[in-house]
Amino acid sequence: MAGGAGVRFWPMSRDSKPKQFINILGLDKSLIQMTYERFKIIIPAENIFVVTSDKYASLVQEQIPSLKEYQIVSEPARRNTAPCIAYATHKIMALNVDANIVVAPSDHIIINEIDFSKIIKQSLRAVEKDDILMTLGITPSRPDTGYGYIQYVFDSKYKKNKNIRKVKTFTEKPQYEMAVEFLKCGEFLWNSGIFIWSGKSILKAFEKHLYDVYELFQKGNNLYNTNDEKQFIQDIYPICKSISIDYGIMEKAENVYVYISNFGWSDIGTWGSLHDLKEKDKNNNAIYGKNVMLYNVTNSIVNMPKDKLAVIHGLDDYIIVEDNNILLICKKSDEQTIRQFVNDVHAEKGDKYI
């Protein structure tokens, strides 16, 4: 899935080129390129599909030139994750009715790719055998309020693999006190947003829990992967409800399981999460840029263009970012307000800075 706008990484992430297409880690590869290469080890390259907005289809092709036209699934409008998954699933099932499917965001970091590959392969074997919907849950390292949480219980169905557990509850981003209790309890995992299931199982779940979305996409069963697909999608997307797969299906289905995982995961959703990943100096600052001079600066993330000299004094726990002729200085603990900053800039300054 590569259709997000990446607003929380503004000003580096812009509407014309959101974070999944940016070399945000300084590794000469964008996040989507890293994701593609990670899955190419697990899945034949011809079986990898990228779902994105119409406006980003050319960016996907530019960054992953080996993709064939049929592998880029373009959405004419943003409708959250459930419709994009329904669309891609129907397209894949039209090619292979027995397909097993991994759904993954394009902008996540996976540090231990060997363990990740093993878990994906084990999950694929499980969903091929059983009618279940699998998600990967990450062992939490801190009471983070920026992630959703999954509570699990033991299930004798998978007693041979104790890492596969039955899901009891989903909780969206909790308050800090609740997140602390989740960690103490020991039954909660971070929700990675990575899913594994058979095409048949997820379509059955759509039919049961999101019938209106299911019915819309079923109407195109004879059109997927034909010349008539694009017009059909253009016609139905504006009338399709906008809803997440978590809320629409995962929180309602009774056959949801989680694989307890620990492979060095981050969704890099915010500047703060990037600070956590980056190597820090002796004052716990994460620095991007060759000409950054800090004086009495602590616990901050600084991202400056290579040719920009920045001299910064006396800040603690700040985000300092310059990109695209925009300078952002924001308290790291208040980074959730960046979305509001973007809305205000758009209202007062127009599209130029968005």
Residues 141 and 203 in one domain: yes
CA 267 to chain centre: 6
At residue 6, the pLDDT reads 82
Residues 198 and 329 in one domain: no
What are the CA-CA distances from residue 351 to residues 20, 96, 325, 346, 354 (Å)? 20, 42, 14, 6, 5
Residues 218 and 324 in one domain: no
The DSSP annotation for 177-189 comes to HHHHHHHHHS-EE
End-of-domain residue from the set 246, 269, 292: 269
Tell whether 2 is covered by a domain.
no
Tell me if the pTM is above 0.75.
Answer: yes
Residues 95 and 194 in one domain: yes
The pLDDT mean for the chain works out to 94
Domain extent for 329: 273-353
Are 258 and 152 a contacting pair, CB within 8 Å?
A: yes
For the chain, counts of helices (H) and of strands (E):
11, 16
**Which amino acid makes up residue 166?**
K
CATH label of the domain that carries residue 31 = 3.90.550.10
Tell whether 111 is covered by a domain.
yes
End-of-domain residue from the set 209, 239, 269: 269
Tell whether 226 is covered by a domain.
yes
Q: pLDDT tens-digit profile of 262-316?
A: 998 988 878 988 898 889 999 999 999 999 999 999 999 999 998 899 999 999 9
Residue 276 burial (CB count, 10 A):
15
Tell whether 1 is covered by a domain.
no
Tell whether 148 is covered by a domain.
yes
The encoded tokens of residue 345 equal 């800039």
Residues 110 and 250 in one domain: yes
197 Ramachandran zone, left/alpha/beta (phi>0; psi -120 to 50): beta
Residues 175 and 200 in one domain: yes
Dist. CA 269–CA 10, nearest whole Å: 11
Q: pLDDT tens-digit profile of 2-61?
A: 998 888 899 999 999 999 999 888 778 999 999 999 999 999 999 999 999 999 999 999
Residues 211 and 317 in one domain: no
Residues 61 and 198 in one domain: yes
End-of-domain residue from the set 239, 269, 299: 269
